[in-house]
Amino acid sequence: MLRNVAAVIWDGVAPFEFGAVCEAFAIDRRDDGVPYLDFAVCAPTAGMVRTNLGFKVEAPNGLERLEEADLIAIPAFGGPSGTLPVEVKDALLRAHARGARFLTACSGAFALGEAGLLDGIECTTHWKYATELQRRFPASKVVPEVLYVDTGQVVTSAGTASVLDAALHIWRQEYGAAVASAVARRMVVPPQRDGGQAQFISHPVPEPDAETLGPLLAWISSHLHEELDVDSLARQVLMSPRTFARRFRAETGATPYAWITAQRVRRAEELLERTERSVEWIAGEVGFGNAAALRHHFTRVRGLSPQAYRRRFACGEPASA
């Protein structure tokens, strides 16, 4: 269970990504029912650290503080040209050997690459740096244009705001959907964008008079129990199925099937946490039709069966399913 988080920074750190890590893990949200995490900021030498924008931030702790962290966050640090201090590399290797988990933001992935910790695993970074990450570390498996990649011990995220998506993903894994949603609500961001979603959307800011799929997405979210297919949804917005599918991906970064499946899994999580209904009932309520289909999709997305998820995250004593 995640209890202790440390952010490691050095000269050249990007303040936005550093701030995003602090926002996600350092704030005490116990009044919202969110577990408290012991959070620390570390540097090769405790003291002031210069950011890539010229001003300085303070790191009260040296690298020895990393030895007790369950999760070590590495913000962006100057792009591919940044230099990883030798003492930080050694500390990261020791932490990896004892099983600590890592979260990188943007070019922070290059730090793990320098330490050899991306060898043989899938990873990502900002789309601008993806080709360079693969060139520099050919033993890695760079997945370009996704928001984040989770391989278990290592979670790498793309540029700027996607580190919040990855952080919420970790909150959800550790403490469940309700806690992740509480953290997201305080940050005023969506509870979760799936890691495989595209880093950039073709039309992120529609023109004021342009039609968008926003009303349809809201309708889908409240009708997950119904049969939803591209043909019927396209008819609702007076588009051909082909145009609708293209427009849907342009606005959401995902296919209709993937987006709807993610919403159904998310709703199933909430019902598993907050009710004692059977898995079969929940499957019908969220639109999977039967327990077998729910188990398949839920386990593929979350890495846990619905029953195991309920045992870990249920708010009350669940009934047998």
Return the CATH number at 111: 3.40.50.880
CA contacts within 13 A on the Cβ side of 164: 18
Same domain for 78 and 169, yes or no, is yes
Domain limits for position 103: 4-187
Q: Would you state the pLDDT for residue 191? A: 65
Measuring CA to CA, which residue among 254, 263, 256 is closest to residue 297? Answer: 263
CA dist 214 and 280 (Å) reads 30
Same domain for 30 and 145, yes or no, is yes
Same domain for 37 and 122, yes or no, is yes
CA dist 74 and 61 (Å) reads 15
CA dist 36 and 3 (Å) reads 7
CA dist 9 and 44 (Å) reads 8
Q: Residue 192 domain-assigned? A: no
pLDDT band at 196 (very low <50, low <70, confident <90, very high): low
Q: Residue 81 domain-assigned? A: yes
Residue 318 has pLDDT above 60, yes or no: no
Same domain for 159 and 16, yes or no, is yes
Q: Residue 259 domain-assigned? A: yes
State the total domains in the chain.
2
Residue 18 has pLDDT above 90, yes or no: yes
CA dist 53 and 50 (Å) reads 8
Q: Would you state the pLDDT for residue 2? A: 96
Q: Which amino acid is at 30?
A: R
- The percentage of residues in the chain with a pLDDT greater than 70, rounded to a whole number, is 91
pLDDT band at 211 (very low <50, low <70, confident <90, very high): low
Q: Which amino acid is at 131?
A: T
Helix and strand numbers, DSSP H then E, in the chain: 13, 10
- Are the beta carbons of 49 and 56 closer than 8 angstroms? yes
Q: Would you state the pLDDT for residue 83? A: 84
Same domain for 118 and 172, yes or no, is yes
